[in-house]
């Protein structure tokens, strides 16, 4: 078993003069790995050392946690699409201290206050950039409320920028397009968030979000697959305190029902909620329809209707 500290990276080495891969002269294998700790190029099949004393292109310092890494790093943050300027502009710190950690005088503090104010003003040169800044901040706020990962925020920001470049925002609210971009990003990244959940953290009506979402997905050619109800099962089951057995049974019910064509035209959240309700009954971990409906944000009527269809599909009466 390899030690994690060795950082053995498997790479396909390419000759600088030609496009041919490096091959081991002993066994003619192309399975060559780089041992960063020892600075060696090694054949992973026969163990022959092809090259040694390679240049270490990593940092000369060591860090054992995130705070040490942040304090010793001499580079800035990576480029991000979640900021209107992609994070390339500078900011003036609010600590009111000099390079040696000493507090500034009152005259210097007032001067730094004016500089900060103008720094914030010049970051957005026109109304278009201010609107973009507002839209991206809305995406970040809603993403935080929904608890989605950083990658979804990046994708949502890219979708919004594409819509802006294609002039799809004209005649529509900034909040509506931003919310639709976030919902499309969740769909694209496979993060189970329903339209109701997204509308709950948004400042625009659900009908407008749905209409804008269909418009931008069609105009931008976003390839979005239908939402799989199985994606909602772990989250709903966890909120209800149900076991892994119930989750597995609910997934089985959804698979059997989908094979018989019962999923077409149905709400994925309602379908998942009904499957969880049926599975809880079959596994003797009963939950009421009201409890399941509250977690899934659907009505009890929806759960009863889907439940009857799924039970018949499973062959139970």
Beta carbons of 237 and 280 less than 8 angstroms apart:
no
Q: Which residues are annotated as a binding site for Zn(2+)?
A: 24, 27, 43, 46
Cα of 273 vs its chain's centroid, Å: 24
Question: What are the start-end ranges of the H helices in 190-267?
Answer: 195-201, 206-220, 233-240, 244-259
What are the CA-CA distances from residue 130 to residues 50, 85, 178 (Å)? Answer: 56, 11, 14
Report which DSSP code applies to 97.
B
Name the phi and psi angles at 33, rounded to 5. -120, 155
Q: What is the CA radius of gyration of the chain?
A: 27
- d(C-alpha 131, C-alpha 84), whole Å: 9
What are the CA-CA distances from residue 155 to residues 133, 177, 219 (Å)? Answer: 16, 14, 17
In the chain, % helix, strand, coil (3-state, to 5) comes to: 50, 5, 40
Q: Which residues are annotated as a binding site?
A: 24, 27, 43, 46
- d(C-alpha 33, C-alpha 60), whole Å: 22
What are the CA-CA distances from residue 206 to residues 139, 202, 211, 274 (Å)? Answer: 16, 9, 9, 23
Q: Could you write out the three-class secondary structure of 267-287?
A: CHHHHHHHHHHHHHHHCCCCC
């Amino acid at each position: 078993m390899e030690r994690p500290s060795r950082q053995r990276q498997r790479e396909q080495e390419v000759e600088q003069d030609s496009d041919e891969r490096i091959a081991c002269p002993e066994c003619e294998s192309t399975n060559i790995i780089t041992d960063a700790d020892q600075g060696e190029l090694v054949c992973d099949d026969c163990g022959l050392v092809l090259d040694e004393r390679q240049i270490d292109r990593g940092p000369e310092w060591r860090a054992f946690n995130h705070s040490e890494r942040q304090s010793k790093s001499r580079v800035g943050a990576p480029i991000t699409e979640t900021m209107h300027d992609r994070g390339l502009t500078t900011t003036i710190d609010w600590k009111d201290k000099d390079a040696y950690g000493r507090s500034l005088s009152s005259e210097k503090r007032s001067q730094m206050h004016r500089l900060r104010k103008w720094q914030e003003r010049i970051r957005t040169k026109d109304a278009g950039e201010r609107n973009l800044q507002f839209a991206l901040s809305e995406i970040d706020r809603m993403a935080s409320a929904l608890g989605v990962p950083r990658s979804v925020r990046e994708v949502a920001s890219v979708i919004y920028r594409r819509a802006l470049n294609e002039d799809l925002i004209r005649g529509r609210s900034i909040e509506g397009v931003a919310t639709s971009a976030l919902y499309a990003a969740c769909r694209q990244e496979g993060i189970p968030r329903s339209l109701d959940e997204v509308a709950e953290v948004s400042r625009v009506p659900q009908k407008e979000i749905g209409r804008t979402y269909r418009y931008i997905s069609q105009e931008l050619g976003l390839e979005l697959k239908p939402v799989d109800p199985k994606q909602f099962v772990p989250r709903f089951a966890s909120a209800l305190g149900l076991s892994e057995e119930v989750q597995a049974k609910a997934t089985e019910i959804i698979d059997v029902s989908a094979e018989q064509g019962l999923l077409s035209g149905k709400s994925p959240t309602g379908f998942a909620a009904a499957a969880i309700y049926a599975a809880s009954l079959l596994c003797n971990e009963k939950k009421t329809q009201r409890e399941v409906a509250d977690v899934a944000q659907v009505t009890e009527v929806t759960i009863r209707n889907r439940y009857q269809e799924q039970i018949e599909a499973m062959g139970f009466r």
